[in-house]
Every structure is written in C-alpha cells, then in structure tokens.
Structure 1
Amino acid sequence: MMSEVEEKPRLVIVEDDPAFARTLRRSFERRGYVVRHVTSPEELGALLATEQFRYAVVDLKLGTASGLTCVQMLNEQDPETRIVVLTGFASIATAVEAIKLGAAHYLAKPANTDDIEEAFARDEGDPSVPVEGRKSSIKTLEWEYIHATLVECDFNISETARRLGMHRRTLARKLEKRQLR
C-alpha cells in the first residue's frame, strides 16, 4: 500500500529568487503537491541523486547559471518529467532550446500556479495563439536594419554606411555601443 506522500504528485522548483520560490511552493503545496526547492544546477544534481519528480518548474536564469542545464538534467533522469521553463528574458532561441532539451512548455514571467498547471497538462500546440508579437522599439528596429545591411555587405563597414546613408564613423560608433554576437 502506498503512503500518502507517494500518492501526491512530486514537483521540484529550480528558482534563485527566494520570495518567488516560496510563493510558488506554498501554492503548489496547497494543491496537493510534494514540493522541493533548489537554487542551482549543482543543488538540483544532488537532489536528483536521491529523488525523482513528475513535474518541474525551472527558471531560465539562475544567477550566472543557465536553467537549460537543469532542463537537460531533469530530462536525462526521466524523459516523462513535465518541465515548464519560466523566464523574464524570453527569446525565441532560448524557447527553442528549452523545448529541444525536454521542456514541455515555456512561460514568460509573471506566471502563476494556474498558468503552470495548465502548461503541465498541455501536450499539443495551440494554433489559435496570435501571430503578432509585441511591438519592437525604434532602437531595436534600427539595430536589426543595420545588422541586416551589414550581413548583405559581408560586414564591410564602409559599404554598409554608404547603403545606410550615414557617415562611416557614425556607424562605427553605433557598432561599438552594441557588439555583434
């Protein structure tokens, strides 16, 4: 016969913000989950050596560490673990990597317990999600246009400046402010 603790769903929260983690923990415990909390990939590794989880909530940015490492660790231990990645730094690249590494869903903060539980339950994509995103700032649009022109010119700054109709030194100053990656 199973004990009461074994029957409850097990959840690990990987979050370096203690206040947010405490709030999530209390909310999930009220819903009947057995909850553990860790703040880093190292702590998660130690915990996974002794425990298994059906559910995980992982913050993408853990101080200087990446939550993607935690997603990979959880998925390697049990590919059936339902992992939801939370982030205040949403990007397409990190969302794609999180899903490739085994996350079930990716949510931008602030997300509440209802949002997370709904994400745990979703197996299918939602084609009704609006395609238009948030509006880009003028600085972002300018940078994207400069970068696209640089690529077209094989990163020739003189040619790029000529095509953009700006002085070469002005372009060089803009590029110094925002390094190419």
Structure 2
Amino acid sequence: MSDTRIQAGWQGRFYEDFETGDVYKHPYGRTVTETDDVWFTNLTMNVNPMHFNEAYASETEFGERLVNGTFVIALAVGMSVVDVSMNATANLGYDDIRHHGPVFHGDTIFAESEVVSKRESKSREHVGMVTTELRAYNQDGDLVLSLERTPMVLKREHADVSPEQPPGWPEGVGSQPSEGDD
C-alpha cells in the first residue's frame, strides 16, 4: 500500500503578504464571447440595444455591439480573486470605476492589480483592509477598465488552512493522508 501525501497548493495571499506598490499580473487571459455578453445582458435585464441588437449597434460609432460594461467589471474582478481576495472575508467597496475603451466580442481581457494601500482593522483583529487598483487590458494592450477595490483580508495567524483542507474544502472530503503501515 502506498502512502498518500497531500501537497499544499496556492492558498492565496493573506493580509501580511500585501505591500504597497506590488503589482500582481493575474493568470490567464479570457476571451469574451458573444454568448457571455448576451447571457449576462439578459441575466441583468440590461435593455440597452447596444449589447443585443446588431442592427441598432451597426449604425453607431462603433459599428457593432459592445460587451456589457458590467460584465467586463465582473470578469476583471473575478480574474483578480486568486491573487487579491481568495482569503477575503468581505468586499468593502468598488470605487473610481472607469471604462477607458470599448470591449467587443472576441476581445481577450487580461487583468492586473496594484496594491495602493493597506491598514489593519480597528474593530476586527483577524483582518486588514487592502486597497488595489485593478486594471484590465485587451489583447492589443489597450486599457479598457480600471477601478479601486477594497477587500477585508484574513491575517495568516487567523486562517485555518492546510494541504488536507485548503480554502473552501469541507473537512474530510477527497483524498486524506495515509496513516502509514503498522
């Protein structure tokens, strides 16, 4: 019988890991499809024909439909979770949201976050607040979105993670380490 050895994976950054001025280039780009845009637009009941009416959009200055801006926000924020808020207990705010350029079906979005500031919580000793500037670019390097994001992030000493029970996993699910042969 072989021993099962559970190896630690990425567990995200904790409050202590953030330093003002650090930039995290989030892994993976994501190509926005027409389906993404149409579904999101319908789910959010955004009735602007710019997002779902090709005949209308073809007569605008852009000549085609634009991707719903709130989809671009959601995508960029989602891309940043692995580096910024995997260990967040809450998101406190999204500020200074700016759409710098249009996003079209077929564009691939890349995102990065720069740590703007951090401070310990005055009322909760187990967390600190980290403010980042999130920037999203298209495949041509054009800045299409920026925003400030402030999650409340766990301090390492208060996190209860291990290779056997990483963030989000219930106790006892999946492979467990072997006790060894007697």
Quick check: TM above 0.5? no
Structure showing the higher helix proportion among its residues? 1
Structure showing the higher strand proportion among its residues? 2
Name the structure, 1 or 2, with higher relative contact order (CA <8 Å, separation 6+). Answer: 2
TM-score (structure 1 length as normaliser): 0.23
Higher CA-based Rg = 1
